[in-house]
């Protein structure tokens, strides 16, 4: 029983690691039964390198879940350096073409399968019903439950056609909040049934995994969802009938770790009904050892039922067996170009006369997306690119064409004020909103890209340099 217990606890762990080559400690843990690993941008350099990495991992254990966050749009790991070839969910919702959403997801799945990644933490199933949401926003398909539900189902179908397990997140809904669970414990408001609708659709579509949210939903429980038997067992399992893998959002996130620590959170999440424990982006062997040891101690003391741990490990193993048979097909990145073009809104004559000065008004980035490494200036042949943060002075424009890039300007007063000043000074300036297009300066020329993936930015560049506008 000791060996079985040791291996079951390891199967429930999903750590990350530093670097583009798996360290020796990861290989040792694979021998002990580690259920999966999570790749972040820090692990990804090129497709060939990722393929080599995943092959080396599976040389230790064939049926291994290799996971990442490949949502398209703002959240990409495979293309973190250049920006995603695919617009994100919001653009797909704007276009509202379900077969196209399914094909985009299938293409993303094909790219993941080609490099050995078989578990995608996508799609986001949150309804972005609160426009002040700092972490979901354009990662959602939209603000209407019915729209989000049908696109979540289509995305799940497309991704899993390629043998890549989909993961609907963040259960039971992170859309109606104005706080970021990476930094604090949010309180979710709004209509619970509307927030649950996309998860019902995902389950009906056969989604293999659901990710828990580090949020409180007071009509259900005072505990965070990740730690709540009422939410994970009674609601997710019994009421909604989900039988797949429930995986936690990263346990290092401050919504959980600030009060409990990762080890205690791991035990309580398993006890509540989670099967797989995503440890986070900053993980080393010491943390894995510590979490594993505390889980074993909880079972030995009776605080965590052995049957619950074995059930969790069995679900993870079942998913790994399913995902060991990918269905590789050539990806179709041109679909991203089509979606971006169809989603883009251009108001007024947005054509510019020459290489522009691109002024980016950049708010703090969300931890989920990370600091962007790509820019509209990269694809529009800018004469100069200037990044301004809150409180920094606006530079002289020297008579050049000016393109002003904003993100979620409706949430940032300083961006709106800066845009108004620039537009007053440079009447022919063009404003490009790469976040939620809920605000624009009156009388100005502006573009809404519906996201900041490379495909979105290339569509905006085409609009700026071609004679088009509405």
**Catalytic sites, residue numbers:** 182, 249
From 112, 57, 102, 105, select the one nearest 79 (Cα to Cα).
112
Q: What contacts 82, CB < 8 A, 6 or more positions away?
A: 373, 374, 454
Paired tokens of 363: 């708010």
Provide the token pair at 359.
Answer: 């002024």
Task: Say what the alpha-carbon torsion angle 459, 460, 466, 470 is, to the nearest 10 degrees.
Answer: 110
Structure tokens at 143: 């603000």
Helix, strand, coil shares, percent, the chain, to 5:
45, 15, 45
Q: Rounded to whole angstroms, what are the CA distances from 158 to 109, 174, 257, 337, 439?
A: 8, 23, 34, 18, 33
Euclidean distance between CA atoms 209 and 274, whole angstroms = 11
CB 248 within 8 A of CB 206: no
Whole-number Å distance between alpha carbons of 258 and 211: 20
* Spatial distance between the Cα atoms of 318 and 334, rounded to a whole number of angstroms: 34
Closest CA to 267 of 286, 251, 249: 251
The CA distances from residue 447 to 147, 350, 429, 460, in Å, are: 23, 8, 11, 7
């Amino acid at each position: 029983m000791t060996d079985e217990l040791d291996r079951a606890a390891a199967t429930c762990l999903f750590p990350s690691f530093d670097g583009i080559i798996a360290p020796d400690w990861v290989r040792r843990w694979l021998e002990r039964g580690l259920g999966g690993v999570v790749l972040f941008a820090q692990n990804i350099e090129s497709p060939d390198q990722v393929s080599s990495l995943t092959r080396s991992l599976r040389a230790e254990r064939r049926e291994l879940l290799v996971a990442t966050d490949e949502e398209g749009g703002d959240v990409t790991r495979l293309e973190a350096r250049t920006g995603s070839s695919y617009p994100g969910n919001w653009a797909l919702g704007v276009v509202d073409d379900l077969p196209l959403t399914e094909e985009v997801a299938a293409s993303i799945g094909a790219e993941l399968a080609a490099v050995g990644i078989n578990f995608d933490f996508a799609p986001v199933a949150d309804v972005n019903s609160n426009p002040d949401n700092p972490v979901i926003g354009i990662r959602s398909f939209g603000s209407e439950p019915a729209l989000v539900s049908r696109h979540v189902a289509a995305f799940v179908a497309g991704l899993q056609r390629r043998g890549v397990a989909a993961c609907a997140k963040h259960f039971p809904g992170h859309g109606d909040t104005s706080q970021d669970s990476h930094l604090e414990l949010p309180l979710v408001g709004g209509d619970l049934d509307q927030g649950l609708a996309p998860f019902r659709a995902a389950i009906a579509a056969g989604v293999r995994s659901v990710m828990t949210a580090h949020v409180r939903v007071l009509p259900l429980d005072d505990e965070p969802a990740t730690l709540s038997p009422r939410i994970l067992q009674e609601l997710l399992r019994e009421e909604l009938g989900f039988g797949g893998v429930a995986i936690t959002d990263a346990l290092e996130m401050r919504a959980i770790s600030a009060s409990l620590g990762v080890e205690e959170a791991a035990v309580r999440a398993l006890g509540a009904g989670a099967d797989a424990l995503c440890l986070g982006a900053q993980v080393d062997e010491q943390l894995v050892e510590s979490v594993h040891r505390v889980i074993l101690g909880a079972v030995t003391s009776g605080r965590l039922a052995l049957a619950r741990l074995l059930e969790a490990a069995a679900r993870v193993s079942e998913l790994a067996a399913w995902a060991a048979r990918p269905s590789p097909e050539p990806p179709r990145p041109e679909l991203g170009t089509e979606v971006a073009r169809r989603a883009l809104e251009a108001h007024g004559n947005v054509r510019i006369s020459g290489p522009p000065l691109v002024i980016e008004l950049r708010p703090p980035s969300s931890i989920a997306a990370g600091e962007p490494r790509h820019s509209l200036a990269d694809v529009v042949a800018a004469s100069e690119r200037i990044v301004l943060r809150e409180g920094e002075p606006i530079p002289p424009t020297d008579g050049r064409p000016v393109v002003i890039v904003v993100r979620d300007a409706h949430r940032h007063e300083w961006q709106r004020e800066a845009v108004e000043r620039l537009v007053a000074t440079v009447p022919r300036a063009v404003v490009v909103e790469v976040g939620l297009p809920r605000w624009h300066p009156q009388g100005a020329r502006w573009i809404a890209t519906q996201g900041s993936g490379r495909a979105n930015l290339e569509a905006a560049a085409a609009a700026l340099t071609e004679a088009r506008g509405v």
